[in-house]
Amino acid sequence: MKPRQRFLETMHFGRPDKVPLQPGGPRESTLAAWHTQGLPEGVGWYDYLMDLLGIEREVVHPHVDLGVSFIMIPTFEEKVLAHRDGHFIVQDWMGAITEISDTYDYTYIRTAKDFVTRRWHSFPVANREDWEKKLRWRYIPHDPKRFPADFEARCATLRERDTVVSIAFSGAFWQLREWCGMEGLCMLMVEQPAFVEEMEAFWTDFVLRTLEPILRLAPPDHVVVNEDMAYKLHSMISPKMVRRFLLPAWQQWIGTIKAASPDTVVEVDSDGYNAELLPLWIEAGFDAVSPMEVAAGNDIVAYRRQYGSRVAFRGGIDKRALAKGGAVMRAELDRVVPPLLATGGYIPSCDHGVPPDIAWPDFVDYTRRLAEMTGWIK
């Protein structure tokens, strides 16, 4: 099988020749540590790892990205407002006022390059006037800047593909939280629910209209809805609020995607404890959930017993066990991987970005064992 067919077979509880090998990816601090532990400088860590394990990389085509943007256009001016007491105070590209340690370049706010703690001071939307003046006009679905100049040519190339085409966009909770802040959004849900519903309807429509040319010309194999919305013990908002404010958006997006491409895997990505949310995600029509953090209380073995083939998973391997290596690592893999692979609908992986306390030799050992379990090493 080629990667595309293998991925779809796996996530739809089919019969792949082997399960995709996705051990998880490092951040900058992890790579820096690995370079002191045996990973050579100047090499791609994944290619080097595959060579080290004797796994031949597959020849696939084409390596083309759709290149479509779901973010605001234009973004806010990114600028340092103050630098004091070892911290930058920054207006970020989303219009929030954010604080970050000057241990890092302030542009780390822009992307998740590393494990960086931030503090938010304010957000662009506190009321309807802010929404209209500061943000709404930045989201024009068919703005030419959202699509590369050769978008249709890329789509034509991707219609004959062996690779997995993935796209991701912010979900119904994630996006409004970026506009209003966590506390601000929750207060608006209580005090001005009609305003929240208006913003949700706008975001739902914006995503649908941005998706339209993608679904028409080259439907993706994998759509990830970023929706971090759980703490360690509970969902960030109640299931009742989820049903009122978020479920309609999810159902419209998934229904439209599936109408264009029934085999597309639609996945929700949410950190934290997801037990309260899983029934709602299944009801919405999501095919899969990731990364299923063990430290937050998620146990995908128990979830599989509860939900069967109604939902697939990616992730679910405790990063803390991987950091301990050896027998602890092997016990974690034995706990999770065989029962999930036996029932299908599972791509094993570290349950979030790979942190720097997972040493390079232990990561190699873990990936070797994972490759044996998923059929890449006999």
Task: Per residue of the chain (378 residues), give pLDDT as tens.
Answer: 999 999 999 999 999 999 999 999 999 999 999 999 999 999 999 999 999 999 998 888 888 999 999 999 999 999 999 999 999 999 999 999 999 999 887 777 777 778 888 899 999 999 999 999 999 999 999 999 999 999 999 999 999 999 999 999 999 999 999 999 999 999 999 999 999 999 999 999 999 999 999 999 999 999 999 999 999 999 999 999 999 999 999 999 999 999 999 999 999 999 999 999 999 999 999 999 999 999 999 999 999 999 999 999 999 999 999 999 999 999 999 999 999 999 999 999 999 999 999 999 999 999 999 999 999 998
Rg of the chain over CA atoms, in angstroms? Answer: 21
Q: What's the whole-number average pLDDT of the chain?
A: 96
Q: Which residues does 56 contact at the CB level (< 8 Å), separation at least 6?
A: 50
Summary count for the chain: helices (H), strands (E): 15, 10
| Beta pairing partners, 84 | 87
Measured in residues, the chain has a length of 378
Longest dimension (CA), the chain: 62
- How far apart CA 356 and CA 115 sit, in angstroms, is 9
Select the CATH number that applies to the domain covering 3-72+124-374 from these four: 1.10.3720.10, 3.40.50.2000, 3.20.20.210, 3.20.20.140. 3.20.20.210
> What does pTM read for this prediction?
0.96
- How far apart CA 221 and CA 166 sit, in angstroms, is 6
Angle at the Cα of 261 from the Cα atoms of 301 and 146, rounded to 5 degrees: 100
Among 143, 142, 199, smallest CA distance to 172 is for 199
- Tell me what pLDDT residue 40 has: 98
Q: Do 208 and 253 contact (CB within 8 A), yes or no?
A: yes
Output the six-digit token pair for 31. 């790579």
Report the side by side order of strands in the sheet with 118-122: 79-84, 87-91, 97-101, 118-122
Tell me the pLDDT tens digit for each residue of 126-163: 999 999 999 999 999 999 999 999 999 999 999 999 99
Q: What is the residue extent of each domain of the chain?
A: 3-72+124-374, 77-123
- How far apart CA 67 and CA 218 sit, in angstroms, is 12
